[in-house]
Amino acid sequence: MFVNMVEVLKYDLVIMGSGLAGLRAALQAAYTSHGKAKIAILSKVQAMRSHSVSAEGGASAVLYPKETGDSFDLHAYDTVKGSDFLADQDAVELMVQMAPQEVRFLERLGVPWSRNEKGQVFQRPFGGMSIPRTAFAQDKTGFFMMSTLYQNVLRFDNVDIYHEHFVTKIIVENDEFKGVTAIDLKTGELKLFLAKAGIIAAGGAGRLYRFTTTAHSTTGELLTLALRAGAGIKDMEFVQWHPTALVPSGILITEAARGEGGYLVNRLGERFMKNYAPQKMELAPRDIVSRAILTECKEGRGFTHEESGMCYVGLDLRHLGEEVINRKMPFIRELAHKYVGIDPLSDLIPVRPAVHYTMGGVHADIHGRVLKADGTWIKGLWAAGEAASISIHGANRLGSNSLTECLVWGHITGEESVKYAIEKPELVTDDSIIEIAKKEESRVFDKLIHKEVNANTPYDVKRELNDIMEEHFGPFREGSKMSEGLSKLLRLLEKAKSMRIDDSSRVYNQNLKDALEADGMVELGLVIGLGAYARAESRGAHYRLDYPKRDDTNWLKHTVAYLYGGEVQLTYVPVTITRWKPEERKY
């Protein structure tokens, strides 16, 4: 239906993002509604190509407690300790309880879980987990889960998949979600999606940094759209560096390599983790291992990559043997061979920490409902997966908990949002919303008509943002350095207001899309920077040289950023502690 030249589409539920969380939500919503609800999935890439496909290691769950001696309590405790006690424990307890049924559900859907001789789902050790509980599908778990979920969504006629639709605005009026505007990249048309309910599942923001394991699509601009729509953005300063990314590309080498027994060695051939985490060694949580590697580098015990000048250490899989590598980690062997030209059976894999995950995201409660900074629910809006901050991972995420979180909150938000939508009265096409859509159309496409000749291109902006984030908000932070970074970010924010767009066509305008991404990325960088600068302690992934200790008295709380008067402000909300009081975090 076209109203004043804008195509208006009405749905009960609109899901923004088609990764594991988004697809799991779509599946749950479609099934729960018995085919009655109209559901739309919007993805800025082709829906089967979301970054979730790159996840390698596995999904954690207490599947066989009797046989392994594992328990919900243990999984929850590991997660809370891994989070450096910033995780909300009621949510963690819910996740570990729902995890096993989710893994079994995915098994029934068709995920090719790797099996042991008994035909059970094989589980491997992973960082920070006291008992092996990471279910995996070789070393392509994310890919197989995505592929299975995507194909299963095709069961339902009531789910419409909109490939390559780039969301430009989340419309909220009177604290209620109304819909979104999105560009159909293939035609350049702006469409208005009116919906009774929405789920934000657009992933994280790794590409704010230069050396990252994430896809080019992981830019996080939807988080900024949520911020602009009134949502709180929580704990954004907690950025995870994954210890083992290939040098120089940043391509991920899964933690499973260490889970299956791989070692980390410095230039002198030492397993240096004994000096940083004597008990867990290579399987300590990621923030600890990443900082260890970078410290080895700083103190001159690393290797140097000739071309890029990057310092790295060696991931040693030689002792694992061909059988283990080929059956459990074939992808790693292929990646190392293709992109570095080495064979893990006979050489060390060159690895260095890279940005991998953002613990922070849209402020959400245990139901995944999106909250404003003051705690009120933006009615009809939910968030799930990496894009949400419930928070499960607190200051640091344990490997394999992310896939689990996507499934659990995909399930919860999919079910709750569709039930909410079904009970709501029919949508009426409201003039004021059409006005908003038309204004969006001008805002977005005027950039093509008014050519800024001397301005920065979106690529200049992204490059400069990467420089600032890497230099001022890296794994080792410090007050004055961050303050300098904040000034640079504010100046960049000004520059980003008018970027030069060279492609003036409507059809598949990637140049324009890149500019819209850059615009959102810089503002998100500011949210990270402000949160990091304010937090005067070290906790999990946020480590400060000027405040190297954890300070529970003053800082056992979540940062929530919000917009007020057009500027980013910060407030704090308490952490929900049910069972485990903060203790010293040693591994």
Binding site for other proteins (CB under 8 A): 31, 45-46, 48-51, 53-54, 101, 104-105, 107-110, 112-115, 117, 119-121, 140, 143-144, 147-148, 151-152, 154-155, 161, 163, 186, 215-217, 249, 251-252, 307, 335, 338-339, 341, 457-459, 501-503, 505, 507-511, 514
Going through 470-580 in order, the beta strands assigned E by DSSP cover: 557-564, 567-574
Closest by CA position to 535, among listed 522, 523, 544: 544
In the set 24, 49, 51, 242, the catalytic residue is: 242
Closest by CA position to 289, among listed 305, 266, 309: 266
Token duo for residue 421: 């939508």
First to last CA, the chain: 59
Asked if 400 and 129 touch (Cβ cutoff 8 Å), the reply is yes
**Shorter beta-carbon distance to other proteins: residue 270 or 470:** 470
In the set 49, 258, 286, 542, the catalytic residue is: 258
Token duo for residue 522: 């810089």
Distance between alpha carbon 338 and the CA centroid of its chain, in Å? 26
Token duo for residue 182: 């999105």
- Amino acid in the structure at residue 98: M
CB of 138 to other proteins, least distance (A): 8
CB of 380 to other proteins, least distance (A): 25
CB of 108 to other proteins, least distance (A): 5
Strand 2-3 versus strand 6-16 pairing type: antiparallel
Judge if the upstream peptide bond of residue 248 is cis by omega within 30 degrees of 0.
Answer: yes
258 in active site = yes
Backbone angles phi, psi at 193, to 5 degrees: -105, 105
327 in active site = no
CB of 83 to other proteins, least distance (A): 28
**Shorter beta-carbon distance to other proteins: residue 115 or 274:** 115
Task: For residues 322 and 338, give the distance between their C-alpha atoms in angstroms, rounded to a whole number.
Answer: 18
**Shorter beta-carbon distance to other proteins: residue 151 or 442:** 151
What CA–CA distances, in Å, run from 479 to 292, 465, 493, 538?
21, 19, 21, 12
**CA 139, 143, 146 angle in degrees (round to 5)?**
145
CB of 259 to other proteins, least distance (A): 20
Asked if 406 and 66 touch (Cβ cutoff 8 Å), the reply is no
CB of 144 to other proteins, least distance (A): 7
**Shorter beta-carbon distance to other proteins: residue 134 or 559:** 134
Instruction: List the catalytic residues.
Output: 242, 258
